[in-house]
Copies of this chain bind each other. A is one copy, B any other.
């Protein structure tokens, strides 16, 4: 954890340090990130660094909380078309957030990806329930709920499917953004969700259809297509 001294710093200075750290951690995994590079980018003395942080892991942990908060912010900034989302609309929302995050904060997304790679505890067993839990458990809960609501096929292995969704979530965002190309929406730093153009939306829907067809108890996809 950063020291009290760090939290007392004027906002401007703190931001400059965090910007430098984010740039460094986005370009290099923690293992090969350099303190010297960060302090020179941030315009502070090396000694100051050690007044703010124990070491580079300490700073990295601090940056990770920023990443998580920003991601949460993006998720919550998405428009809610209904207070009670059905299962697959909720999944779409989560994946949309991943794409949006990749567009708005590519550096933070890169840091997140490095972190996911180095964290090699792929899944763990919950000490309370004795249940397997992949990653942060979001998708696990999503699938369990989906089965209860008769939206997800009962034969689906929840933990494996959750793991699959997780790696799709983290892997597909950079791909979609690359395919969108330089047609990044001009919303800039606006608070609103980026308005993706038609072809991008179609591509995204295509992914959703594959996932829904694969997981749903009663997928609507092919019916729609074959009746057309």
B207 touches A174 (CB 8 A): no
- Asked if A78 lies at the interface with its beta carbon under 8 angstroms from chain B, I say no
- Asked if A85 lies at the interface with its beta carbon under 8 angstroms from chain B, I say no
User: Which of A175, A217, A225 has its CB near the most chain B CB atoms (within 10 A)?
Assistant: A175
Which listed residue, B31, B153, B175, touches A163 by the CB 8 Å rule?
B175
Chain B residues with CB under 8 A of A113: 117
Q: How far is the CA of A29 from the CA of B222 in the complex (A)?
A: 43
Q: How far is the CA of A210 from the CA of B152 in the complex (A)?
A: 11
Which listed residue, B32, B161, B222, touches A32 by the CB 8 Å rule?
B32
Segment 60-100 of A: residues with Cβ below 8 Å from B: none
Chain B residues with CB under 8 A of A28: 31
Which listed residue, B32, B153, B171, touches A29 by the CB 8 Å rule?
B32
- Asked if A215 lies at the interface with its beta carbon under 8 angstroms from chain B, I say yes
The contact string, 1 if C-beta is below 8 Å from chain B, for chain A 215-228, is 10101011001000
Q: How many copies does the complex hold?
A: 2
B123 touches A179 (CB 8 A): yes
Given known contacts A163-B172, A163-B175, A167-B167, is B210 in contact with A156 (CB within 8 Å)? yes
Smallest Cβ distance from A104 to chain B, in angstroms?
Answer: 19
Q: How far is the CA of A221 from the CA of B153 in the complex (A)?
A: 10
- Asked if A9 lies at the interface with its beta carbon under 8 angstroms from chain B, I say no
Which listed residue, B212, B215, B222, touches A153 by the CB 8 Å rule?
B222
Q: How far is the CA of A206 from the CA of B209 in the complex (A)?
A: 19
Segment 114-133 of A: residues with Cβ below 8 Å from B: 117, 120, 122-123, 132
Chain B residues with CB under 8 A of A160: 172, 175-176, 179, 203, 206-207
- Asked if A178 lies at the interface with its beta carbon under 8 angstroms from chain B, I say yes
Q: How far is the CA of A168 from the CA of B211 in the complex (A)?
A: 13
Can you list 15 A-B pairs, Cβ within 8 angstroms, ordered by A? A32-B32, A123-B178, A132-B179, A134-B175, A157-B207, A160-B172, A160-B175, A160-B179, A160-B207, A163-B171, A164-B210, A168-B168, A210-B214, A211-B214, A212-B214
Q: A156-B210, A163-B171, A213-B213 are in contact. List 9 more A-B contacts (CB 8 A).
A: A28-B31, A31-B32, A113-B117, A132-B179, A156-B206, A160-B172, A161-B210, A164-B172, A164-B210
